């Protein structure tokens, strides 16, 4: 897809973003565990929202060819805590997007709260941002949903040993997973459409369809895992999500523990500001 032909559904308005520093799949911070890891694109989007230069339905997309990265501005009518369900919703939209444009042997799985894996290696994430000091029981003025997917290694580094396929099982790019014909703009375009489709499903049917599709792709479903909460760590069998996207773990003594997206978000925000 040529840059000039990149179009979005009628409900979205696209805005190009050119990073001052080239955005590449080698950037270590880009695909992180943090649900509030701000990229240059996200920071610029948040600043323009404060200046009233952007609004609901605006989609800011990176012109990088190595990473498919964009952010959608939302205007929630629900509390900030419930708006966090846009994270798993954005993830299932990614799975549908890649399922439509990539080879069928590409295995997409999810890591809570926002990580995307391709054939077992980290490849992308989804994050959500609110205005500073937004109360979680109140309706935020706006929210920004960000997604990023590694498409290919930078050309100048493609011959380096660190980027050889299979050398680092913690990260990968779509190009190395058999998706050489897919480019970043095609992914952004497709994801935006699948995201709107899932928004409609969520509005009509609630969170259950999102949960079912998310859990189907959970990388550690029914496996024992450890999650670091805001105040303590929890270990148990990952059995699903609650109605607003929190992780449910069942311990050896059959107790059910809930680690909310809210506490993970607050923990990450505190770490970033500290």
Q: What does the pLDDT look like over 197-246, one tens digit per residue?
A: 999 999 999 999 999 999 999 999 999 999 988 788 999 999 999 999 99
pLDDT in tens, 68-97: 999 999 999 999 999 999 999 999 999 999
Q: How far is Cα 267 from Cα 228, in angstroms, rounded to an integer?
A: 10
Q: Which residues contact 182 (CB under 8 A, 6 or more apart)?
A: 101, 102, 151, 174
Is it the case that residue 163 has pLDDT exceeding 70? no
Residue-level pLDDT at 72: 98
For the chain, what are the domain ranges? 3-216, 224-273
Q: How far is Cα 49 from Cα 43, in angstroms, rounded to an integer?
A: 10
What does the pLDDT average to over 17-40?
Answer: 88
pLDDT band at 156 (very low <50, low <70, confident <90, very high): low
Residue-level pLDDT at 274: 58
- Residue 256: how many CA atoms within 13 Å on its side-chain side? 9
Is it the case that residue 6 has pLDDT exceeding 90? no
Residue-level pLDDT at 19: 95
Q: Around Cβ 252, how many Cβ atoms within 10 Å?
A: 9
pLDDT band at 157 (very low <50, low <70, confident <90, very high): low
Cα maximum dimension of the chain? 58
pTM of the entire predicted model: 0.93
Q: How far is Cα 41 from Cα 38, in angstroms, rounded to an integer?
A: 8
Q: Which element (helix H / strand E) includes 208? A: helix 208-216
Q: How far is Cα 165 from Cα 161, in angstroms, rounded to an integer?
A: 9
What does the pLDDT average to over 149-174?
Answer: 70
Q: How far is Cα 2 from Cα 93, in angstroms, rounded to an integer?
A: 23
Which CATH architecture fits 3-216?
2-Layer Sandwich (3.30)
* CA angle 42–264–54, rounded 5-degree value: 25
pLDDT in tens, 128-143: 999 988 999 999 999 9
Work out the mean pLDDT of the chain and round it to a whole number: 91
pLDDT band at 185 (very low <50, low <70, confident <90, very high): very high
Residue-level pLDDT at 270: 79
CB-based contact 258:248 (threshold 8 Å): yes
What does the pLDDT average to over 155-161?
Answer: 54
Please, is 90 exposed, middle or buried when counting C-beta atoms within 10 Å of its C-beta (0-12, 13-18, 19+)?
Answer: buried
């Amino acid at each position: 897809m040529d840059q000039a032909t990149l179009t979005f559904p009628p409900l979205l308005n696209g805005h190009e973003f050119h990073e001052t520093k080239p955005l590449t799949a080698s950037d270590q911070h880009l695909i992180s565990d943090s649900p509030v890891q701000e990229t240059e694109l996200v920071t610029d989007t948040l600043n323009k929202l404060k200046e009233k230069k952007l609004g609901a339905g605006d989609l800011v997309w990176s012109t990088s060819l190595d990473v498919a990265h964009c952010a959608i501005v939302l205007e929630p009518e629900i509390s900030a805590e419930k708006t966090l369900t846009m994270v798993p919703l954005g993830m299932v939209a990614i799975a549908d997007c890649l399922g439509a444009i990539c080879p069928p042997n590409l295995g997409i799985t999810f890591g809570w709260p926002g990580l995307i894996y391709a054939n077992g290696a980290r490849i992308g994430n989804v994050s959500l941002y609110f205005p500073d000091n937004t109360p979680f029981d109140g309706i935020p003025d706006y929210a920004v949903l960000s997604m990023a997917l590694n498409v290919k290694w930078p050309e100048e580094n493609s011959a380096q040993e660190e980027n050889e396929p299979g050398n680092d099982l913690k990260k990968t790019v779509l190009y190395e997973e058999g998706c050489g014909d897919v480019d970043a703009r095609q992914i952004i375009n497709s994801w935006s459409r699948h995201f709107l489709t899932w928004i409609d499903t969520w509005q009509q049917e609630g969170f259950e369809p999102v949960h079912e599709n998310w859990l189907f792709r959970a990388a550690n479903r029914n496996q024992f895992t450890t999650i670091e909460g805001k105040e303590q760590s929890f270990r148990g069998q990952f059995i699903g999500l609650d109605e607003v996207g929190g992780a449910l773990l069942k311990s050896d003594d059959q107790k059910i523990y809930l680690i909310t997206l809210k506490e993970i978000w607050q923990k990450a925000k505190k770490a970033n500001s500290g």
